[in-house]
A and B are shown apart, each in its own frame.
Chain A
């Protein structure tokens, strides 16, 4: 396999990992953010948590794998991005820590104050994580100051530009909607009704923000940073988002969930197409951008990692998919059937 082929292959593989992560963790971020607003009683909150209880940790491993794969395949990308986005990633880590611990600890004490505190930690941690991820990706699309030594020369405030913030808020709204659609699939009775009401409102907010983000991206010309035109993909992403509204209004929860899932996948595809072959765009000088060619590992490492990925990615997909199948039943708020 030629060096260039491997570099493109690993760009695609890392894109796939990010797509998987956004699609999966997207709904459990959404579920986390909705938790304190949607669940009034303790059983309701526990039922909401249990919709993602057995899977959120596995979903998060997609992020760890994306991080590890970036380190192995494109060390310069990993080094520049992680050191450059230092404080943003620090806050993301704090968000992930808060929600991860809270998922496991919130029911281990019966005091209402304890549980309420941890429920809010889930919500705030999920919100912080979604916001920062969205802001980070928007900045990657926009370009960040990078000098000729592949070093990031900005700071946290460089990332807090209008486009970055819009990316963050839009991601939060899409994940909220995606989470609501997932809950619509997994809950029953009164909660299922309630979440449908939430989804209707969230759909309006998410659609408006999403379209503004799209228009901004188009006018600012960010879609021309790479050598590939994303073409119809972003338009398809808008279409499926519009269709989500139709399915929510007709209480077709399965379809609504598939539509937000598709929207997330198509958004990520748009992102990776419009940056290719860049992995980090320099706003200082396009010549300083990190690309799959100047940021990658050696041909040998890429070959070894390709073999490893070829063996293990399908295995992981099979057993993770199977887990979702095993836990496909709706979750009731009946105390007897609720795992605490």
Chain B
């Protein structure tokens, strides 16, 4: 395999892996801050327990997000040096600001929150978790503004002499609608992820009659937040899709397996392609719905992949400008259906809250909902990033021209295998600990110097 293919795989794997942990960090931090605040206000020990318990799960998850995040910052230069040269003027700025504004805040105050209880004034301890939550979410904003620029470059000129992109309008970069739409979508997805984790873990304890009052409170909070957040994810995604229709028409049509320009355009319920993933064999379609998705009316024209390909060839020269459609098409459908399912489930939970849901038979299935947001999160990012292929920066630079020219296949095999092994081991340790602490319940999280013996874990199984 050549270095470009390996670099793509490495970036894809490490990024998706990193993003397995990020949404939970983003969302759960607010829940921990909420319970900590309620504890501060009421001095009610049950809120204290909730803050500590969800905080413990938050920290186990957070640690992996941090260490895999360092890889992210380094690998632009390591694997994509030509990209870094081309966009450093622009892309480097939000990255540096992210570190300066968000990472310092997050890491410093999380340290105070973990180690400061009883050592720093209670008010400071409370402020620390809020600042850590703000820091985490701010870092999402800056990295998404950076990514938004790759999808929809704004505020730049190409320097004729050096051939590099140069920043001319910082505020255009900061106000890029693409970045803000991603931010909205991602923050809401983070809250959804945290809500569904809380729903699942709470249900586990409620059906076993352990700390029922505590977990009912968590369950209720997560239901409400989950419903609001998953609805916001939907509207964010929809708005994002319409903006994509304007700015990245190829991605939009590739997601829908929409080959030929039509007015109005059909929505594909199911399309089967051939093995290349680039030709349609058979499909079922709903008339005019795609037009509605694209521009909120049933009549507008949606250009097909074939026309856009021709147009791009005329503009950018010969080449294949169609993303791998089997991936864009299916990841979108996974994301959408799971997203709707989460909205529906949180709505049903909301209805159930009025009754005696703690005794309901269906509660034993609720722990499985934890996996749902992960499917949606992963599909969403794979869709976003693979949908922009072959571009690394839409319309300006292709992935194949962005790779570090000095890297050999051996270099990449070493690093790729190394990451897979280390990341695999980390995931094993993380899942083990998450499960252990989730099952052990709040009392174990309260007494930290007393060890959580593995035997305790098995007892509840």
CB-based contact A78/B88 at 8 Å: yes
CB-based contact B436/A109 at 8 Å: yes
Q: Assuming A72-B92, A308-B100, is B449 touching A340 (CB within 8 A)?
A: yes
Chain A contact residue count (CB 8 A cutoff): 74
Least CB separation from A64: chain B residue: B99
Least CB separation from B87: chain A residue: A75
Q: Which residues on the A side are within 8 Å of B108 (C-beta)? A: 55, 57-58, 61, 319-320, 323
Q: Assuming A64-B103, A97-B68, is B111 touching A55 (CB within 8 A)?
A: yes
A105 to B78, CA, bound (A): 28
Which secondary structure dominates chain A's binding surface?
Answer: helix
Which stretch, B115-123, B244-252, B282-290, B300-308, touches the partner chain A? B115-123
Q: Which residues on the B side are within 8 Å of A327 (C-beta)? A: 115-116, 119
Q: Which residues on the B side are within 8 Å of A53 (C-beta)? A: 111, 114-115
A300 to B103, CA, bound (A): 25
Q: Assuming A79-B82, A104-B63, A327-B119, is B70 touching A97 (CB within 8 A)?
A: yes
Q: Is B221 in the interface zone, CB < 8 Å from A?
A: no
Least CB separation from B110: chain A residue: A57
Q: Assuming A297-B88, A339-B114, is B411 touching A87 (CB within 8 A)?
A: yes
CB-based contact A323/B81 at 8 Å: no
Least CB separation from B414: chain A residue: A87
Mask, B423-461, CB within 8 Å of A = 1, is 000100100010011000000000011011110000000
Q: Is A68 in the interface zone, CB < 8 Å from B?
A: yes
Mask, B377-413, CB within 8 Å of A = 1, is 0000000000000000000000000001111100100
CB-based contact B63/A71 at 8 Å: no
CB-based contact B99/A75 at 8 Å: no
A251 to B237, CA, bound (A): 63
CB-based contact A110/B96 at 8 Å: no
Q: Which residues in window 65-118 of A have CB below 8 A to B?
A: 65, 67-76, 78-84, 86-87, 89-90, 93-94, 96-98, 100-101, 103-105, 107-111
CB-based contact B407/A86 at 8 Å: yes
Q: Which residues on the A side are within 8 Å of B64 (C-beta)? A: 101
Q: Is B134 in the interface zone, CB < 8 Å from A?
A: no
Q: Is A188 in the interface zone, CB < 8 Å from B?
A: no
Which listed residue (A65, A96, A103, A329) contacts B99, Cβ 8 A?
A65
Which secondary structure dominates chain B's binding surface?
Answer: helix
Interface size class for chain B? 35 or more
Least CB separation from B85: chain A residue: A79
Query: What's the least CB distance linking A307 to chain B, in Å?
Result: 9
Q: Assuming A78-B84, A339-B448, is B100 touching A312 (CB within 8 A)?
A: yes
Q: Which residues on the A side are within 8 Å of B112 (C-beta)? A: 54, 323, 326
Which listed residue (B79, B89, B407, B429) contacts A105, Cβ 8 A?
B429
Which listed residue (B66, B77, B418) contacts A83, Cβ 8 A?
B77
A60 to B91, CA, bound (A): 22
A274 to B88, CA, bound (A): 26
Q: Assuming A97-B67, A104-B59, is B449 touching A109 (CB within 8 A)?
A: no
Q: Is B311 in the interface zone, CB < 8 Å from A?
A: no
Least CB separation from B59: chain A residue: A104
CB-based contact B89/A94 at 8 Å: no
Mask, A300-325, CB within 8 Å of B = 1, is 11001100110011001001100100
A79 to B81, CA, bound (A): 4
Q: Is B415 in the interface zone, CB < 8 Å from A?
A: yes
Q: Is B101 in the interface zone, CB < 8 Å from A?
A: yes
Q: Which residues on the A side are within 8 Å of B415 (C-beta)? A: 86-87, 90
Query: What's the least CB distance linking A56 to chain B, in Å?
Result: 8
CB-based contact B88/A54 at 8 Å: no
Q: Which residues on the B side are within 8 Å of A107 (C-beta)? A: 448
Q: Assuming A83-B404, A104-B63, is B96 touching A71 (CB within 8 A)?
A: yes
CB-based contact A68/B73 at 8 Å: yes
Query: What's the least CB distance linking A132 to chain B, in Å?
Result: 12
Query: What's the least CB distance linking B274 to chain A, in Å?
Result: 38
CB-based contact B405/A304 at 8 Å: no
Q: Which residues on the B side are within 8 Å of A150 (C-beta)? A: 85
Q: Is A239 in the interface zone, CB < 8 Å from B?
A: no
Q: Which residues on the B side are within 8 Å of A308 (C-beta)? A: 93, 96-97, 100
Interface centre among A71, A96, A111, A301 (most CB of B within 10 A): A71
A7 to B63, CA, bound (A): 36
Which listed residue (B97, B119, B433) contacts A109, Cβ 8 A?
B433
Q: Is B32 in the interface zone, CB < 8 Å from A?
A: no
A251 to B304, CA, bound (A): 77
Q: Which residues on the A side are within 8 Å of B110 (C-beta)? A: 57
CB-based contact B89/A75 at 8 Å: yes
CB-based contact A304/B68 at 8 Å: no
Q: Is A151 in the interface zone, CB < 8 Å from B?
A: yes
Q: Which residues on the B side are within 8 Å of A120 (C-beta)? A: none
Q: Is A41 in the interface zone, CB < 8 Å from B?
A: no
Q: Which residues on the A side are within 8 Å of B74 (C-beta)? A: 67, 82, 89, 93
Least CB separation from A319: chain B residue: B108
Which listed residue (A67, A152, A336) contacts B73, Cβ 8 A?
A67
Q: Which residues on the B side are within 8 Å of A55 (C-beta)? A: 108, 111
Q: Assuming A79-B88, A109-B454, A339-B448, is B93 touching A301 (CB within 8 A)?
A: yes
Which listed residue (A54, A63, A78) contacts B114, Cβ 8 A?
A54
A174 to B116, CA, bound (A): 30
Mask, A134-158, CB within 8 Å of B = 1, is 0000000000000000111101000
Q: Is B98 in the interface zone, CB < 8 Å from A?
A: yes
Q: Is B422 in the interface zone, CB < 8 Å from A?
A: yes
Q: Is B293 in the interface zone, CB < 8 Å from A?
A: no
A188 to B92, CA, bound (A): 44
CB-based contact B168/A300 at 8 Å: yes
Which listed residue (B63, B90, B103, B167) contacts A100, Cβ 8 A?
B63
A80 to B454, CA, bound (A): 48
Q: Is A201 in the interface zone, CB < 8 Å from B?
A: no
Q: Which residues on the B side are within 8 Å of A105 (C-beta)? A: 60, 63, 429, 433
Which listed residue (A64, A83, A304, A329) contacts B407, Cβ 8 A?
A83
Q: Is B76 in the interface zone, CB < 8 Å from A?
A: yes
Query: What's the least CB distance linking A243 to chain B, in Å?
Result: 31
Q: Which residues on the A side are within 8 Å of B89 (C-beta)? A: 72, 75, 297-298, 301
CB-based contact A300/B166 at 8 Å: yes
Which listed residue (B62, B91, B448) contacts A71, Cβ 8 A?
B91
List of 10 A-B pairs having minimum Cβ-Cβ separation, nearest first:
A75-B88, A82-B77, A72-B92, A110-B451, A71-B92, A68-B96, A54-B111, A83-B81, A83-B404, A104-B63
Between-chain CB contacts (< 8 Å), 7 pairs: A55-B108, A57-B111, A83-B77, A86-B78, A93-B71, A104-B63, A340-B448
Since A64-B70, A75-B84, A89-B74 are in contact, a sample of 6 more A-B pairs with Cβ atoms closer than 8 Å, ordered by chain A residue number, is: A54-B114, A61-B99, A78-B77, A94-B422, A96-B70, A316-B104
A: residues with CB less than 8 A from B are 50, 53-55, 57-58, 60-61, 63-65, 67-76, 78-84, 86-87, 89-90, 93-94, 96-98, 100-101, 103-105, 107-111, 150-153, 155, 297-298, 300-301, 304-305, 308-309, 312-313, 316, 319-320, 323, 326-327, 329, 335-336, 338-340
